[in-house]
């Protein structure tokens, strides 16, 4: 297959590129490198197994790369919920407008399949936990969640209007090697600066589920190969959850440190934070994929990878 991966030099995107290359796909990465890193995919570029087009989806000059492609994996976005609240304009552009531009480029090039990386934050503060895909009302509490929900709606409209097919994945927290943002990166950076005290945003009781990135990629590829509705929406996560304080404990244990914890207080770590998130993954399991790793194990692997990094 000829696959396009937007955001393919980023954290999750580069792991997806690893998978696609190892499956024999001809891969074209479109990435502005705003938060991605060419080194994550360098091996494939040098081996001629993938090609990088350094371009911003908000500009032009990348659309012709879609000619002859079989599928677009659209991952490029501004994935930081906190940043999204600080700069909604940037968030809306890099998520909604960029997705619309990708869909338009697909329509013109007659590419009919799109895989899209959405998020648990589309559910907002759900009253049903674990939260299934058909939960309503969808009431995001962050600009990021709202933007992703708008993208899902656009993708659905394009699929039904222009004979396309989509796989929309609502992720829990995806963690692992090459991640440049999120709670693990934040705590390790703070502890390197000050090993005696760790600032924890919120009350530390925020509980969420986490999944290691390579398991997430296996789930994506499994579902994309085993479901064929016009719009296929599926949660991806693990079945348990861990609290922010427990993550701090795991990191301190791995770093052999015993700092005091200083909580900034409140249920949320930041504007738009969802204090409790756990996804119902029954649909994923019905399709036939059972995650082989839980949240706690995912956190341990991700912490070790971040420390090696
Ligand atoms: P990331 O920042 O590592 O990757 C995003 C990539 O997109 C980067 O390489 C960046 O350079 C590129 N990019 C951003 N804006 C662009 C633009 N306008 N044009 C071209 N390239 C652009 O983030 P990630 O964690 O790997 O996230 C990948 C996707 O998964 C995103 O869509 C994100 O919203 C989604 N997601 C991530 C998580 C998570 O826990 N990491 C959870 C839910 C959803």
Q: Do domains 2-174+210-236 and 176-209+239-308 have the same CATH topology?
A: no
Q: Return contacts of 120-123, CB within 8 angstroms, 24+ apart.
A: 120/170, 120/171, 120/172, 120/173, 120/235, 120/237, 120/274, 120/277, 120/279, 121/81, 121/145, 121/148, 121/272, 121/274, 121/277, 122/148, 122/149, 122/152, 122/170, 123/170, 123/274, 123/277
Distances from the Cα of 302 to the Cαs of 180, 184, 200, in angstroms? 11, 8, 19
The rounded Å distance from CA 123 to ligand 1 centre is: 19
The owner of tokens 């049903």 is: 128
pLDDT given at position 175: 97
Quick one: what percent of the chain has pLDDT higher than 70?
100
Averaged pLDDT, 134-144: 96
**Residue among 288, 202, 305 at smallest CA distance from 244:** 202
CA-wise closest residue to 302 among 215, 200, 196: 215
| Catalytic residue chosen out of the listed positions 123, 144, 158, 210 | 144
Cα(261) to centroid of ligand 1, in Å? 30
**DSSP state, residue 259:** P
- Ligand 1 pocket: which of 33, 75, 97 to mutate (most atoms <8 Å of CB)? 75
Contact (CB, 8 A) for 223 and 169? yes
Output the CA 77–ligand 1 centroid distance in Å.
4
pLDDT of residue 81: 82
Residues recorded for the chain: 309
3-state secondary structure of 170: strand
Query: Which residues are near ligand 1 (CB < 6 Å)?
Result: 7, 9-13, 31-36, 56-58, 75-77, 79, 94, 98, 117, 119, 171, 173-174, 180
Q: What is the pLDDT of residues 213-250, one digit of tens each?
A: 999 999 999 999 999 999 999 999 999 999 999 999 99
Residue of 30, 34, 93 with the most ligand 1 atoms within 8 Å of its CB, for mutation: 34
- The pLDDT value recorded for residue 271 is 83
CB of 267 closer than 8 Å to CB of 206: yes
pLDDT at 112: 98
CATH number of the 176-209+239-308 domain: 3.90.25.10
Residue 22 clears pLDDT 90, i.e. is over it:
yes
Pocket test for ligand 1, best of 4, 6, 8, 11 (most atoms within 8 A of CB): 11
The rounded mean pLDDT for the chain is: 96
How is 15-27 classified by DSSP, letter by letter? HHHHHHHHTT-EE
| Ligand 1 atom nearest to CA at 94 | 18
Mean pLDDT of 35-58: 98
CA of 120 to the centre of ligand 1 (A): 15
The proportion of the chain whose per-residue pLDDT surpasses 90, expressed as a percent, equals: 94
Residue 43: half-sphere exposure toward Cβ, Cα within 13 Å: 7
Predicted confidence at residue 88, as pLDDT, reads 93
pLDDT at 84 over 80: no
The kind and range of the H/E element at 216 are helix 213-226
Active site residue 123: no
Rounded distance between C-alpha atoms, residue 41 and residue 47, angstroms: 10
Task: Report the atom number in ligand 1 closest to the C-alpha of 93.
Answer: 18
Has residue 180 got a pLDDT over 90?
Answer: no
- Assigned CATH topology for domain 2-174+210-236: Rossmann fold (3.40.50)
Direct distance between the N- and C-terminal alpha carbons of the chain, in angstroms, rounded to an integer: 32
Q: What's the pLDDT score for residue 283?
A: 98
The pLDDT value given to residue 221: 98
- Residue whose CA lies nearest to ligand 1 atom number 29: 75
Convert the pLDDT of each residue in 11-20 to its tens digit. 999 999 999 9
Distance 97 CA to ligand 1 centre (A): 14
Residue 309: the pLDDT is: 84
Whether the predicted model's global pTM rises above the 0.95 cut: yes
Strand 165-171 and strand 231-236: the pairing is parallel
Residue-wise pLDDT for 153-173, tens only, equals 999 999 999 999 999 999 999
Burial of residue 163 (number of CB atoms within 10 Å: 0-12, 13-18, 19+): exposed
262 pLDDT band (50/70/90 cuts)? very high
Residue 270 banded pLDDT, cuts 50, 70, 90 = confident
Per the CB < 8 A criterion, the answer to whether 159 and 230 are in contact is: yes
Half-sphere exposure of 36 (CA within 13 A, CB side): 29
Distances (CA, A) of 17 to 8, 103, 104, 297: 6, 21, 23, 24
100 pLDDT higher than 90:
yes
Domain ranges of the chain: 2-174+210-236, 176-209+239-308
Q: What is the pLDDT of residue 82?
A: 79
CA dist., res. 77 & res. 75, Å (int) = 6
């Amino acid at each position: 297959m000829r696959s396009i991966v937007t955001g393919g030099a980023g954290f999750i995107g580069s792991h997806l590129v690893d998978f696609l290359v190892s499956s024999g796909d001809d891969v074209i990465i479109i990435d502005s490198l705003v938060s991605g890193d060419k080194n994550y995919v360098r091996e494939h570029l040098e081996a001629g197994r993938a090609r990088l087009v350094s371009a911003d989806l908000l500009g032009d000059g990348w659309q012709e790369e879609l000619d002859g492609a079989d599928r677009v994996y659209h991952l490029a976005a501004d994935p930081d919920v906190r940043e999204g609240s600080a700069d909604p304009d940037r968030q809306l552009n890099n998520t909604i407008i960029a997705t619309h531009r990708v869909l338009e480029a697909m329509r013109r090039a007659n590419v009919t399949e799109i895989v899209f990386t959405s998020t648990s934050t589309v559910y907002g503060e759900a009253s049903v936990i674990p939260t299934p895909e058909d939960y309503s009302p969808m009431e995001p509490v962050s600009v990021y969640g709202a933007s992703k929900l708008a993208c899902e709606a656009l993708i659905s409209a394009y699929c039904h209007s222009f004979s396309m097919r989509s796989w929309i994945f609502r992720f829990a927290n995806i963690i692992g090697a090459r991640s440049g943002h999120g709670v693990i990166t934040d705590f390790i950076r703070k502890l390197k600066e000050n090993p005696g005290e760790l600032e924890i945003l919120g009350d530390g009781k925020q509980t969420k589920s986490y999944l290691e990135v390579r398991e997430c990629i296996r789930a994506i590829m499994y579902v994309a190969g085993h479901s064929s509705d016009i719009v296929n929406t599926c949660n991806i996560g693990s079945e348990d959850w861990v609290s922010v304080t427990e993550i701090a404990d795991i990191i301190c244990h791995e770093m052999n440190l015993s700092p005091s914890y200083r909580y900034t207080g409140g249920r949320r770590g930041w504007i738009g934070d969802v204090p409790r998130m756990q996804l119902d993954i029954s649909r994923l399991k019905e399709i036939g994929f059972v995650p082989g790793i839980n949240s706690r194990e995912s956190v341990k692997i991700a912490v070790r990878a971040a420390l090696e990094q």
